[in-house]
């Protein structure tokens, strides 16, 4: 059995031929008991009809699932609407404390184009909670617009910051917990100003964004400063802008990596008879001891069994040396 789309408006019922007055509805369906549910259902069916609403009473605030679209995008869509009409309705929901005003659920670019033309918007009006609105917004964009990885990542981070529960975010984006964790990590590691300069970058996948996020966490480089020094306006596409920034930060990190390699070589520890005992390797994040299980297997096993006691003893010895005489 196919899963029903909760946010797809149902077809108008054929049996309803004439409008019923509000007073008649109240008499037939008093707001009590089981009749309350019937009344609510009739109200919801009526709200799914496409209506024409003035663009002046529709607000655009709320979490954004897209990076800013350009004026050229709006102009192109406006020309299409002017020639062929608005083919796809937007979705709005009433604002409880502002009667006659609505908040956009999805269709921001269409709304902007309609504003530029000065014509009313064809809209579905739904009485949705914040959570239901986010689900509708994510579902519509996933089905129609194929948002890029970074757009989904920013949307996820904004929803989390706004206090939405994880289960709502997972459903809105149709992702699992590990992917949501990766998206959030990228969105919070790379400055938003840099992401906005890059754009949607549909050709750049998760791995390359994660690599850039890892590089941006290096305290030795300033990603915003590197980005500002580049002539991104000369790039042909959003993907090209990403590549320019990625290449620039890679070049900036090369001397640092070479310097660390030169000053922190691997130390080999050997016994007097030449037996390889261990290797000591230093990185930016750790000091690693590697014991040879082939040349000194018994010692390696002993160290495995006594590591906690021996390392604690060494630490206490070092600590006692730090105390003044």
CATH number, domain at 173?
1.10.10.2830
Mark which of 146, 161, 189 sits at the end of a domain: 146
Residue 300 has a pLDDT of 83
Is pLDDT of 116 > 50?
yes
pLDDT: which is higher, 78 or 50? 78
Q: Is the pTM of this model over 0.75?
A: no
Residue 146 has a pLDDT of 65
Highest-scoring range by mean pLDDT, 80-89, 265-274, 278-287: 80-89
Residue 50 has a pLDDT of 80
pLDDT: which is higher, 38 or 145? 145
Q: For the chain, give the mean pLDDT.
A: 76
The answer to which of 16-20, 85-89, 187-191 has the lowest mean pLDDT is 16-20
Residue 57's domain comprises 47-146
SS (H, E, C) the chain: CCCCCCCCCCCCCCCCCCCCCHHHHHHHCCCCHHHHHHHHHHHHHHHCCEEEECHHHEECCCCCCCCCCCHHHHHHHHHHHHHHCCCCCEEEEECCCCCCCEEEEECHHHHHHHHHHCCCEEEEECCCCHHHHHHHHHHHHHHHCCCCHHHHHHHHHHHHHCCCCHHHHHHHHCCCHHHHHHHHHHHHHCCHHHHHHHCCCCCCCHHHHHHHHHHHCCCCCCHHHHHHHCCHHHCCCHHHHHHHHHHHHHHHHHHHHHHHHHHCCCEEEECCCCCEEEEEEECCCCEEEEECCCCCHHHHHHHHHHHHHHHHHHHHHHHHHHCCC
Residue 53 lies in a domain: yes
Same domain? For 206 and 229 the reply is yes
pLDDT: which is higher, 257 or 306? 306
pLDDT: which is higher, 159 or 34? 159
Residue 165 lies in a domain: yes
Highest-scoring range by mean pLDDT, 3-17, 33-47, 247-261, 277-291: 277-291
Residue 242 has a pLDDT of 92
Same domain? For 111 and 191 the reply is no
Is pLDDT of 322 > 80?
no
What is the per-residue pLDDT across 294-313, written as a single tens digit (0 to 9) for each? 778 888 888 888 888 888 88
CATH number, domain at 122?
3.90.1530.10
As a whole-number percent, the residues of the chain with pLDDT over 70 amount to: 74
What is the per-residue pLDDT across 26-57, written as a single tens digit (0 to 9) for each? 444 444 443 443 344 344 444 457 889 999 99
As a whole-number percent, the residues of the chain with pLDDT over 90 amount to: 13
What is the domain count for the chain? 2
Same domain? For 247 and 187 the reply is yes
Same domain? For 128 and 215 the reply is no
Mark which of 210, 227, 257 sits at the end of a domain: 257
Same domain? For 167 and 232 the reply is yes
Same domain? For 131 and 171 the reply is no
Residue 125 has a pLDDT of 85
Mark which of 215, 237, 257 sits at the end of a domain: 257
Residue 283 lies in a domain: no
Residue 321 has a pLDDT of 77
Same domain? For 158 and 112 the reply is no
Mean pLDDT for the stretch of residues 139-164: 76
Same domain? For 199 and 136 the reply is no
Residue 25 lies in a domain: no
Is pLDDT of 225 > 80?
yes
Same domain? For 130 and 153 the reply is no
């Amino acid at each position: 059995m196919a899963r029903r789309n909760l946010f797809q408006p149902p077809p108008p019922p054929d049996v309803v031929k004439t409008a019923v007055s509000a007073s008649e509805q109240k008499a037939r369906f008093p707001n009590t008991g089981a009749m309350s549910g019937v009344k609510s259902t009739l109200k919801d069916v009526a709200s799914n009809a496409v209506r024409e609403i003035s663009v002046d009473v529709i607000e655009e605030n709320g979490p954004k699932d897209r990076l800013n679209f350009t004026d050229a995008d709006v102009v192109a869509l406006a020309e299409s609407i002017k020639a062929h009409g608005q083919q796809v309705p937007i979705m709005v929901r009433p604002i409880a404390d502002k009667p006659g005003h609505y908040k956009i659920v999805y269709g921001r670019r269409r709304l902007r184009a309609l504003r530029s033309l000065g014509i009313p918007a064809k809209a579905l009006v739904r009485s949705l909670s914040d959570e239901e609105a986010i689900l509708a917004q994510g579902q519509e964009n996933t089905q129609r617009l194929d948002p890029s990885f970074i757009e989904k990542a920013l949307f996820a981070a904004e929803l989390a910051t706004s206090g939405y529960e994880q289960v709502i975010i997972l459903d809105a984006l149709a992702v699992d917990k590990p992917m949501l964790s990766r998206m959030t990590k990228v969105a919070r590691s790379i400055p938003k100003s840099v992401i906005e300069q890059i754009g949607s970058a549909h050709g750049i996948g998760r791995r390359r964004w994660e690599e850039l996020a890892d590089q941006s966490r290096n305290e030795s480089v300033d990603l915003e400063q590197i980005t500002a020094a580049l002539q991104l306006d000369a790039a042909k596409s959003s993907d090209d802008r990403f590549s320019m920034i990625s290449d620039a930060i890679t070049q900036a990190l090369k001397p640092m990596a070479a310097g660390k390699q030169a000053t922190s070589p691997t130390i080999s520890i050997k016994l007097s008879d030449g037996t390889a005992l261990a290797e000591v390797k230093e990185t930016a994040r750790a000091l690693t001891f590697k014991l040879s299980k082939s040349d000194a297997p018994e010692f390696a096993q002993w160290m495995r069994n006594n590591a906690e006691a021996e390392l604690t003893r060494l630490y206490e010895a070092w600590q006692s040396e730090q105390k003044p005489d």
